[in-house]
Amino acid sequence: GAQVNDVSFGDEDKNSNAVNNRTISNDVSAPNTVPSRTNQPVWTDVANACIIGKNDKFFQEVPNIEGCKAHCQAQDGCNSVEYNSGTGNCVLSKSDSRSPNYRKPCPENADNVWKYLEII
């Protein structure tokens, strides 16, 4: 109730609505950033691109690119994926096309087996 909020924030004279609003705003883990995604994010189209040396997480035996995107969506801070349909390897990265390490076309993808996508 209000007593718990009053103790938490020291706002005994605030109405409960103001206290509740402060509670919500203080629950955001990183201030001044977009809150964690609750809806399905929008992805770019598949590209022959990559981010050199920014492989933050690696998954094997991922059946399709949708599965790779799902791994990314489940990880806080993931912004892009590279997926190899031939091997089922899926690489997640915090970086995106704004990174200085971004390459299009990807020099390490001569046979075009890796597909790159990022969250818009």
- CATH code of the domain covering residue 79: 3.50.4.10
Query: Across residues 62-87, what is the average pLDDT?
Result: 97
Q: Are residues 18 and 57 in the same domain?
A: no
110: three-class secondary structure by DSSP: coil
Q: What is the pLDDT of residue 12?
A: 42
For 15-73, the pLDDT digits (tens) are 444 444 444 444 444 455 555 556 789 999 999 999 999 999 999 999 999 999 999 99
Q: Are residues 20 and 57 in the same domain?
A: no
Q: What is the pLDDT of residue 20?
A: 41
Distance of alpha carbon 90 from alpha carbon 113, whole angstroms: 12
Q: Is the pLDDT of residue 9 over 50?
A: no
Q: Are residues 75 and 29 in the same domain?
A: no
pTM over 0.75: no
Q: What is the pLDDT of residue 80?
A: 98
The parent domain of residue 18 ranges over 1-35
